[in-house]
Amino acid sequence: MQNAAAVSTAARSAAAASRRGTARSRAARDGTERVIRGALLGCALLSVASTFTILVILLAQTGQFLAMPEVSAWEFFTGTTWSPLLGAEKHFGIWPLVTGTMLITAIAAAFALPVGLVVAIYLSEYAPARVRTALKPVLEILAGIPTVVYGFFALTVITPFLHDHVSESFGTYNALGAGIAVGIMILPIVASLSEDALRAVPRSLRDASSALGSTRFDTSVKVVVPAALSGIVASWLLAITRALGETMIVALAAGGLAHMTANPADELQTMTAYMVQIFLGDAPAYGVEYRSSYAVATVLFAMTLGLTIVGNLFLRAFREEYE
């Protein structure tokens, strides 16, 4: 408050100072200021416009898709068969794609959330400074690798490994290989954001805990992690959002068969992989298959937006603030 007052006083005295200058210069200066302010506001409104446009496009196209004679809204939201490209019997039930996406995301989360948290705890609570400076670039490189590279890795390293060492039932395309690759992709997000949250916990809490005779493990798990929980959960939700929307890994390594399965050795199709199949192929624009990809995108968008909003609310509601 005091600062704001200081600034406004300064501004007022500046205005007074410039009043002594020529009238033209002051008017010109105020005019420039207004124009620039407007231009900057325009930049900021562009991002609002893009959200709005995404919503309008998705809803309009989904509406048109659901109104088509081959499609029923009831089947779309409850159906368990997705066979849009198979000849006469076309079925548009979204659930096979949703469960496919969820299985991939669950595998990725089962790998990345605990591993990322342990890495974060190690970096923040245990690692000596030298080890930390050596390890941070590893995470940064992992975070910077394009997802198509992870797709290639899943196809040429993870899947052959699963086939040779785990079970013969893992084919060229399988959910587990793709899921692990997605997990590797989101691991740096969990690790670095959770580490930020852990490091934001004030030192005094750790000191108090050690003074009471806690080991570093006790301090980390029973004091620091609970204190940073909102940040950790936010990093988890962000990572899950990224896993839901991940496209190139699943398009390369998970296959193209839309069916409901919980078997990680199975080939499956996610929502994003279906969109790739449609946009890559030559389905006629404005045909029913083509429009169906917009409906799938709408469901995906709703899921990720919901998670992002929940994450932000969580961060705001449970943030522990320290002096």
Q: Which is nearer to other proteins, 46 or 88 (CB)?
A: 46
* Structural element, H or E, at residue 91: strand 91-92
Number of residues that bind other proteins (CB under 8 A): 106
Taking the complex as a whole, the smallest distance from the CB of residue 88 to other proteins amounts, in Å, to 27
Among residues 88 and 285, whose Cβ is nearest to other proteins?
285
Strand partners, 91: 83
DSSP letter assigned to residue 284:
P
The full DSSP string for 11-72 is HHHHHHHHHTS-HHHHHHHHHHHHHHHHHHHHHHHHHHHHHHHHHHHHHHHHHHHHTSTT--
Please report, to the nearest 10 degrees, the dihedral formed by the alpha carbons of residues 311, 315, 316, 319 taken in order: 160
Q: Which of residues 71-90 bind other proteins (CB under 8 A)?
A: none
| Minimum CB distance to other proteins smaller for 32 or for 263 | 32
User: 37 vs 67, which CB is nearer to other proteins?
Assistant: 37
Q: What are phi and psi of 26, to 5 degrees?
A: -70, -45
**Which residues, 121 to 150, sit near other proteins by CB under 8 A?**
121-123, 126-127, 135, 138-139, 141-142, 144-149
The interface with other proteins within residues 201-240 (CB under 8 A) comprises 205, 208-209, 211-223, 226-227, 238
**Residue placing its CB nearer to other proteins in the complex, 37 or 263:** 37
1 touches other proteins (CB under 8 A)? no
- Name the residue type at position 116: G
Residue with tokens 């893009």: 50
Q: Which two tokens mark 120?
A: 């974060």
**Selected binder of other proteins within 176, 186, 191, 258 (CB under 8 A):** 191
Site for other proteins in 95-124 (CB under 8 A): 115, 118-119, 121-123
Dist CA 296 CA 179 (whole Å)? 20
| Site for other proteins, residues 153 to 172, rule: CB under 8 A | 153, 155-157, 172
**C-beta of 53 vs 78, nearer to other proteins:** 53
Q: Is 47 in the site for other proteins (CB under 8 A)?
A: yes
Nearest to 261 by CA among 63, 112, 122, 103: 103
CB of residue 89 to other proteins, shortest distance in Å: 27
